[in-house]
């Protein structure tokens, strides 16, 4: 996703300022053991955007524990998930440490450090019970709170709730885990889902993927309980589709980032539309597309680029399914949220 100025449709801006300081376990001992076992001399460290500022301090801590001949390199590439690996740096290091996300692509070279949260979720869970209706409830959370997931299930069951959980698909590491691009763990037999985690980025995506379910947000980081409301975001998507209905020239974006490529979808669009042109890029930003003389774009890469950054692009940016609606292959009322499923 881009780092440009915010827009109304940017789900990253729907959180609140932190009310609890969070401390992370960077698993330094495990990293040091791996470095020594592999006799590594070049170590890459990749942090998500919100934690890049912590990178130098972590590198300093590792330097103190390692021999002087070990070099640590910090990735400056944008990182929004485990699918967003810095493959350039990875190829040039003996050990590559990816912080903040659970494993999505297993590799002997990659060490995943999920950074479990130290925030106590149970006070906000207590408050969230006022929003739950009936005894059937699905429970989901992000990788940062997976260290307490079983405890949260037990806590709800002790209070009389029938808790439904599942591991979605091979893109997910844990039972009950959701990603910004995958909410298969919420595909359960319950009309309401309790999301435990910070901000609204994930639960709003969940609510758009499962519009038939009530999504209750129990945010232990900001100490607030809310209900996911997708109305303005769905209006944004309908508006983008309408603006693209008269488009003649289409730019079809294939993202070259590992874990984000859907070439078969991009090729199908190119095959069916003589006025569609394949554009390959790693980081999809408004500035990079501005010089292309297109009437509209289809993004086959990360779905959240379209949903969150869509209003920032100079021409309509659609998901593959929204494209099919815009060209008349599907009805407008079939619009649904775009997600990634399965393996890479």
Written as tens digits, the pLDDT of the chain (344 aa) is 433 434 443 433 433 333 334 467 889 999 999 999 999 999 999 998 888 998 999 999 999 999 889 999 999 988 888 888 898 999 999 999 999 888 876 678 899 998 888 889 999 999 999 999 999 999 999 988 999 999 999 999 999 999 999 987 777 888 999 988 888 899 999 999 999 998 788 898 899 888 899 999 999 988 999 999 988 888 889 999 999 999 999 999 998 887 777 899 999 999 999 999 999 998 888 999 999 999 999 999 888 888 878 888 999 999 999 999 999 999 998 888 888 775 55
Q: Are residues 258 and 237 in the same domain?
A: yes
Q: Are residues 128 and 221 in the same domain?
A: yes
Q: Are residues 180 and 243 in the same domain?
A: no
Of the candidates 156, 236, 222, the residue with the CA atom closest to the CA atom of residue 192: 156
Give the chain's radius of gyration (CA, Å): 21
Alpha helices in the chain (DSSP H): 28-37, 55-65, 87-91, 122-128, 149-158, 201-209, 231-244, 263-272, 286-289, 303-309, 320-326
Distance in angstroms (rounded) separating the CA atoms of residues 15 and 32: 35
Residue 5 domain-assigned? no
- Written as six digits, the tokens of 161 are 């709730």
The whole-number pLDDT of residue 162 equals: 97
Q: Are residues 138 and 223 in the same domain?
A: yes
Residue 240 domain-assigned? yes
Q: Are residues 153 and 221 in the same domain?
A: yes
Q: Are residues 57 and 109 in the same domain?
A: yes
pTM over 0.85: no
Residue 336 domain-assigned? no
The whole-number pLDDT of residue 239 equals: 93
Domain with 105 in it: what CATH number? 3.40.50.11840
Q: Are residues 42 and 126 in the same domain?
A: no
Residue 342 domain-assigned? no
Instruction: HSE, CB side, 13 Å, CA atoms: give it for residue 70.
Output: 24
Task: For 95, list phi and psi in degrees, rounded to 5.
Answer: -135, 135
The whole-number pLDDT of residue 82 equals: 83
The whole-number pLDDT of residue 2 equals: 38
The total number of structural domains in the chain stands at: 3
Domain with 292 in it: what CATH number? 3.40.50.11860
260 Cβ contact partners less than 8 Å away, ≥ 6 residues apart: 83, 84, 301, 302, 340
Domain final residue, candidates 79, 113, 147:
113
Q: Could you tell me whether strands 214-219 and 224-227 are parallel, antiparallel, or unpaired per DSSP bridges?
A: antiparallel
Q: Are residues 155 and 97 in the same domain?
A: no
The whole-number pLDDT of residue 338 equals: 83
Q: Are residues 295 and 277 in the same domain?
A: yes
- The parent domain of residue 144 ranges over 121-228
Q: Are residues 102 and 71 in the same domain?
A: yes
Residue 64 domain-assigned? yes
The whole-number pLDDT of residue 23 equals: 66
Residue 235 domain-assigned? yes
Residue 222 domain-assigned? yes
The whole-number pLDDT of residue 344 equals: 53
Q: Are residues 240 and 303 in the same domain?
A: yes
Of the candidates 278, 283, 284, the residue with the CA atom closest to the CA atom of residue 265: 278
Residue 17 domain-assigned? no
Domain final residue, candidates 195, 228, 261:
228
Domain final residue, candidates 166, 193, 228:
228
Q: Are residues 286 and 251 in the same domain?
A: yes
């Amino acid at each position: 996703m881009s780092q440009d100025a915010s827009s109304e449709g940017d789900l990253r801006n729907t959180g609140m300022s932190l009310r609890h300081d969070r401390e992370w376990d960077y698993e330094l001992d495990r990293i040091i053991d791996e470095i020594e076992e592999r006799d590594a001399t070049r170590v890459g460290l990749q942090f998500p955007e919100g934690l890049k500022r912590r990178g130098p301090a972590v590198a300093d801590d590792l330097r103190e524990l390692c021999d002087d001949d070990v070099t640590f390199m910090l990735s400056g590439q944008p990182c929004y998930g485990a699918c967003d690996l810095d493959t350039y740096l990875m190829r040039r290091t003996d050990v590559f440490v990816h912080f903040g996300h659970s494993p999505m692509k297993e590799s002997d070279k990659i060490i995943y450090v999920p950074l479990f949260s130290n925030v106590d979720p149970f006070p906000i869970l207590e408050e969230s019970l006022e929003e739950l209706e009936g005894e059937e409830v699905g429970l989901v959370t992000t990788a940062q709170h997976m260290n307490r997931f079983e405890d949260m299930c037990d806590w709800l069951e002790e209070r009389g709730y029938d808790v439904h959980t599942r591991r979605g698909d091979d893109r997910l590491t844990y039972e009950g885990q959701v990603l910004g691009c995958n909410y298969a763990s919420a595909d359960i037999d319950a009309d309401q889902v309790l999301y435990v985690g910070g901000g609204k980025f994930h639960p709003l995506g969940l609510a758009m993927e499962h519009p038939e379910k009530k999504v209750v947000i129990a945010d232990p980081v900001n100490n607030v309980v809310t209900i996911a409301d997708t109305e303005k975001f769905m209006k944004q998507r309908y508006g983008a589709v309408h603006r693209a209905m008269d488009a003649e020239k289409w730019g079809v974006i294939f993202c070259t980032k590992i874990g984000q490529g859907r070439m078969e979808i991009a090729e199908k669009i190119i095959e069916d539309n003589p006025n569609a042109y394949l554009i390959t890029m790693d980081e999809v930003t408004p500035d990079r597309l501005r010089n292309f003389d297109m009437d509209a774009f289809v993004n086959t890469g990360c779905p959240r680029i379209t949903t969150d950054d869509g209003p920032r692009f100079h021409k309509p940016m659609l998901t593959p399914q929204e494209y099919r609606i815009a060209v008349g292959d599907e009805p407008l009322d079939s619009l649904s949220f775009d997600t990634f499923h399965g393996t890479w």
